[in-house]
């Protein structure tokens, strides 16, 4: 798969993921743009790994988690008319606003775990690989986040198998 | 007010829909940024070349100096696989969190103390810290690092390299590095995945000190382990604000020694693994549900559950010959994983728990070496 093909087919998914992580459309675009630029430079190595989306999603996660990240908007990106429209649109208070605000206030790692688990549908073991931490750490982040979000657990997390609950080293 | 997982998923779905469009301007912007990054690399590479030429010509010995080989002046230094030897200078604004050690390398997380204390870390302009790797003498090939830009780290000399990989293949250590060879012969690498300049890494590097090995400590001390078992991996966090935990991997002399990895895969499991964490009620509920109907066996004041595999908690493909034990004591939870229950039996684990001394998982001040 060529880089352009990947970018065309997966950019939307990456932008949605980055938007949930950052809680900000502009920052999401910054993150994805920066990550795709870096991915483009090492595309052969990425494609050799066999799972380019997983690799680039991990890059997006790292970029989001990096506290050193600064806004690096590239001047060549024009502000489109529809972006201006969106900015001018009245703020819509929906029923989930309060929950979204709490999600946005979570520490970055906890937010990443919640998005990876409940939006991307990853197992705790897969999340641990994305975040480069132990499955036990993922569970701890998830527990804290769910407590903060006041989520009542009525089912097992998506894709969680017994071994993952066990938190093997 | 409580909410359901469905409400959480709905909220995430709705807000994902507010993502900016992947429109026709994205790819040109990506190409533009890629070109900018490529140019920057070329400039940095050129700077490294100029510096190298200058060194060869003996023009700027004070600015650039290749690291001297380890000579008779190198100080004596040693550590065992369970020991770490990376520390920070007194008064450093950084804090050491996890300390992981293997027979040939170490990994520690260094974070800004202010960020660790804050509920909302990440103030712009503040150095967040870095991840630090170290490789024992002979365990690191510096060729790739030395292709980078020479940098000065206090009174030491090293290199800055971007897009570098360190350690074994798939170690997970990829990114930008500032590295140098300590007088002990240990190679130290300070890493950040996306640093474009060496400044932040050098700031952390200046505070790093390599000392003689310091034992990994644990809230559970074992008075007896099956003969021949030795510690080959330790990963300990004794910082209360960073979260208290300890885990150990023990093996026999004939076992393949574990590599230094960012993420310790179950595929690399050693014959005996022990993970100790604070008993968080929410986390315990995961286990409680699975352990329902299995009353604990009381041993040495601890509640224990021995679970031969396959079991519903730890079943791992291809490891049906193993066994697990959940140990609950005080404010701690211990998970014991045995690769082969014929090799390390239930009786062995019972004896091990019976001989153990238990400490606190909310205060590490009383933690001791694992093998007492």
pLDDT tens digits, one per residue of A128-146: 888 877 788 888 888 888 8
pLDDT at B65: 29
Tokens of B97: 């969190």
Chain B residues with CB under 8 Å of A19 CB are: 15-16, 18-20
Do A157 and A106 reside in the same domain of the chain?
yes
Structure-model confidence comparison of residues B337 and B45, the more confident one: B337
Same domain as A124, residue A67: no
Q: Which of A63, A151, A154 sits opposite B194 (nearest CB)?
A: A63
Q: Is residue A81 part of a domain?
A: no
**In this predicted model, what pLDDT tens digit does every residue of B229-256 receive, in sequence order?**
999 999 998 876 656 889 999 999 999 8
Q: Mean pLDDT throughout B305-325?
A: 79
Q: Does residue B88 register a pLDDT over 90?
A: yes
Q: Which residue in the set B12, B16, B25 is minimally distant from A77, CB to CB?
A: B25
pLDDT at B63: 27
Q: Is residue A82 one of the residues assigned to a domain?
A: no
Strand-pairing partners, residue B107, are: B100, B133
Task: Give me the mean pLDDT over the A41-65 stretch.
Answer: 87
Dist. CA B308–CA B14, nearest whole Å: 44
Pick the last residue of a domain from A25, A45, A74. Answer: A74
CA distance A131 to chain B (A): 9
Identify the weakest region by mean pLDDT among A2-11, A20-29, B249-258. A2-11
A1 and A68 together in one domain = yes
Closest alpha carbon to B232 in A30, A168, A23, A169: A169
CB–CB of B14 and A94 under 8 A?
A: yes
Taking 70 as the threshold, does the pLDDT of residue A158 lie above it?
no
Same domain, A51 and A112: no
Say if residue A61 is in the same domain as residue A129.
Answer: no
pLDDT of residue B317: 56
**Residue A110 belongs to a domain:** yes
Residue A13 has φ and ψ, to the nearest 5°, of: -65, -40
Kindly state whether residue A48 falls inside one of the protein's structural domains.
yes
- B31 CB burial (10 A radius; 0-12, 13-18, 19+): middle
Q: What percent of chain A has pLDDT over 70?
A: 72
Mean pLDDT of A52-61: 92
Mean of pLDDT values over B28-37: 76
Residues of B in contact with A8 (CB under 8 A): 22, 27
pLDDT average, residue stretch A60-69: 75
Cα angle B28, A69, A11; round to 5: 35
Backbone angles phi and psi of B4, in degrees to 5: -105, 165
Stretch B156-180: mean pLDDT: 91
**Number of domains observed in the structure of chain A:** 2
Interface test with B, best of A19, A68, A93 (most B CBs within 10 A): A68
Nearest residue in chain B measured CA to CA from A101: B11
Model confidence band, residue B266 (pLDDT cutoffs 50, 70, 90): low
In chain B, the domains with their CATH numbers are 23-64 (no CATH), 83-211 (2.60.120), 217-369 (3.30.200.100)
Task: Write out chain B residues lying below 8 Å of A20, CB-based.
Answer: 12, 15-16
pLDDT at residue A166 greater than cutoff 70: no
Identify the DSSP state of B76: P
Is 60 exceeded by the pLDDT of residue B45?
A: no
Least Cα separation, residue B256 to chain A (angstroms): 17
Size of interface A-B (CB pairs under 8 A): 209
The domain spanning residue A98 has which CATH number? 1.10.10.10
What are the residues facing B50 on neighbouring strands? Answer: none
Q: What is the mean pLDDT of residues B25-44?
A: 70
Q: Which domain holds residue A40?
A: 1-74
Asked if residue A79 is part of any domain, the answer here is no
Give Cβ neighbours of residue B27 (< 8 Å, ≥ 6 apart).
A4, A7, A8, A11
Q: Are A113 and A123 in contact (CB under 8 A)?
A: no
Contact A167, A135 (CB under 8 A): yes
Regarding whether A141 and A113 lie in a shared domain, the answer is yes
Mean local confidence (pLDDT), A12-39: 90
Compute CA distances B137 → A142, B181, B332, whole Å: 39, 9, 37
Residues A113 and A51 in one domain: no
Q: What is the pLDDT of residue B292?
A: 80
- Residue A38 belongs to some domain of the structure: yes
A125 plus A64 within the same structural domain: no
Mean pLDDT along residues B128-152: 94
Q: What is the mean pLDDT of residues A36-47?
A: 87
B338 versus B268: which is more confidently predicted?
B338
pLDDT grade for B225, boundaries at 50, 70 and 90: very high
The pLDDT > 90 percentage for chain B reads: 45
Question: What confidence tier does B311 reach under pLDDT thresholds 50, 70, 90?
Answer: confident
A56 CA to chain B: closest CA distance, Å? 13
Tell me which of A118-122, B54-58, B365-369 is least confident: B54-58
Check if the beta carbon of residue A29 is closer than 8 Å to that of residue B28. no
Pick A162's closest partner by Cβ from B163, B172, B313. Answer: B313
Task: Name, of B44-53, B91-100, B112-121, B263-272, the range with top average pLDDT.
Answer: B91-100
Q: Is the pLDDT of residue A24 over 60?
A: yes
Whether residue A85 is contained in a domain is answered as: no
**Given a cut of 80, is residue A67 above it in pLDDT?**
no
Which positions in chain A touch B334 (Cβ < 8 Å)?
A: none
Partners of B177 in the β-ladder: B161, B191
pLDDT higher at B72 or B363: B363
Among A34, A72, A143, the residue with its CB nearest the CB of B283 is A143
Could you tell me if A58 and A126 lie in one domain? no
Residue A63 has pLDDT above 70, yes or no: yes
What's the pLDDT at B302? 96
A41 contact residues in B (CB cutoff 8 A): 34, 37-38, 163
**Which of B17, B247, B314 minimises the CB distance to A162?**
B314
Pairing mode of beta strands B230-237, B302-308: unpaired
Claim to verify: residue A103 and residue A164 sit in the same structural domain: yes
User: Among B39-43, B212-216, B307-311, which stretch is predicted with the lowest mean pLDDT?
Assistant: B39-43
CATH number of the domain enclosing A16 = 1.10.1740
* Cα radius of gyration (chain B): 24
pLDDT at A93: 44
Q: Does residue A88 have a pLDDT over 80? A: no
Residue A138 backbone class (left: φ over 0; alpha: ψ -120 to 50; beta: rest): alpha
H/E segment holding residue B159: strand B156-166
In a domain? residue A122? yes
Best of B15, B250, B311, B323 to disrupt the A interface (most A CBs within 10 Å) is: B15
Which spans in B18-83 are helix H?
26-57
Which among B1, B22, B287 has the least Cβ separation from residue A12?
Answer: B22
Contact B45, B66 (CB under 8 A): no
Mean pLDDT, chain B, whole residue set: 83
The mean per-residue pLDDT over the stretch B316-335 comes to 85
Q: Which whole number is the average pLDDT over B150-172?
A: 91
**Sign of the CA dihedral with A37 first, then A41, A43, and A45 last:** negative
CA–CA min distance A120, chain B (Å): 10
Do A43 and A10 belong together in one domain?
A: yes
Contacts of A37 in chain B (CB under 8 A): 30-31, 33-34, 36-37
Give the other-Cβ count within 10 Å of B89's Cβ.
11
One domain, residues A98 and A165: yes
Name, in order, each residue with C-beta under 8 angstroms of B133's C-beta and a sequence gap of 6 or more.
Answer: B105, B106, B107, B166, B167, B173, B188, B189, B191, B260
């Amino acid at each position: 798969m060529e880089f352009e093909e990947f970018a065309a087919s997966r950019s939307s998914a990456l932008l949605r993921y980055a938007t949930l992580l950052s809680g900000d459309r502009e920052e999401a675009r910054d993150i994805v743009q920066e990550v795709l630029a870096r991915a483009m430079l090492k595309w052969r190595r990425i494609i050799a790994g066999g799972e380019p989306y997983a690799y680039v999603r991990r890059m997006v996660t790292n970029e989001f988690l990096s506290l050193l990240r600064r806004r690096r908007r590239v001047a060549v990106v024009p502000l489109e008319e529809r972006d201006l429209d969106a900015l001018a649109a009245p703020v819509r208070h929906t029923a989930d606003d309060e929950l979204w605000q709490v999600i946005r206030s979570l520490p970055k790692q906890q937010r990443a775990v919640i998005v990876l688990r409940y939006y991307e549908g990853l197992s705790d073991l897969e999340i641990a690989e994305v975040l480069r931490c132990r499955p036990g750490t993922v569970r701890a982040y998830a527990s804290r986040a769910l407590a903060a979000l006041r989520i009542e657990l009525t089912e097992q997390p998506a894709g969680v198998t017994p071994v993952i609950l066990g938190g093997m080293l | 007010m409580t909410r359901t997982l469905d409400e959480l998923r709905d909220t995430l779905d709705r807000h994902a829909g507010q993502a900016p469009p992947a429109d026709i301007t994205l790819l040109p912007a990506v190409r533009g940024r890629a070109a900018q990054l490529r140019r920057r690399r070329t400039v940095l590479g050129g700077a490294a070349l100029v510096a190298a030429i200058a060194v060869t010509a003996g023009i700027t010995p004070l600015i650039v100096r290749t690291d001297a080989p380890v000579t008779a002046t190198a100080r004596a230094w040693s550590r065992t696989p369970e020991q770490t030897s990376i520390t920070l200078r007194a008064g450093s604004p950084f804090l050491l969190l996890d300390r992981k050690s293997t027979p040939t390398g170490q990994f520690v997380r260094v974070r800004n103390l202010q960020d660790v204390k804050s509920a909302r870390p990440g103030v712009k302009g503040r150095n967040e810290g870095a991840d630090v790797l170290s490789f024992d003498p002979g365990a690191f090939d510096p060729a790739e690092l030395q292709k980078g830009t020479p940098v000065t780290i206090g009174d030491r000399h090293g290199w800055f390299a971007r897009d570098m990989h360190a350690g074994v293949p798939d170690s997970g250590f990829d990114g930008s590095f500032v590295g140098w060879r300590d007088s002990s012969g240990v190679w130290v690498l300070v890493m950040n995945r996306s640093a474009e300049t060496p400044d932040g890494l050098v700031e952390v590097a200046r505070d790093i000190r390599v000392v003689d090995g310091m034992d990994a400590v644990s809230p559970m001390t074992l008075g007896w382990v099956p003969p021949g078992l030795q510690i080959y991996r330790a990963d300990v966090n004794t910082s209360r604000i960073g979260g208290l935990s300890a885990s150990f991997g023990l093996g026999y002399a004939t076992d393949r020694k574990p590599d230094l990895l960012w993420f310790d895969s179950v595929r690399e499991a050693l014959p005996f693994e022990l993970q100790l964490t604070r008993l968080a009620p929410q986390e315990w509920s995961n286990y409680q549900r699975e352990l329902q109907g299995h009353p604990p066996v009381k041993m040495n004041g601890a509640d224990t559950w021995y679970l031969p595999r396959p079991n519903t908690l730890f079943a791992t493909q291809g490891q049906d010959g193993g066994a697990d034990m959940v140990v609950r004591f005080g404010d701690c939870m211990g998970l014991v994983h045995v690769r082969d229950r014929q090799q390390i039996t239930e009786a062995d684990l019972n004896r091990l728990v019976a001989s153990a001394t238990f400490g606190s998982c909310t205060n590490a001040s009383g933690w001791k070496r694992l093998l007492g």
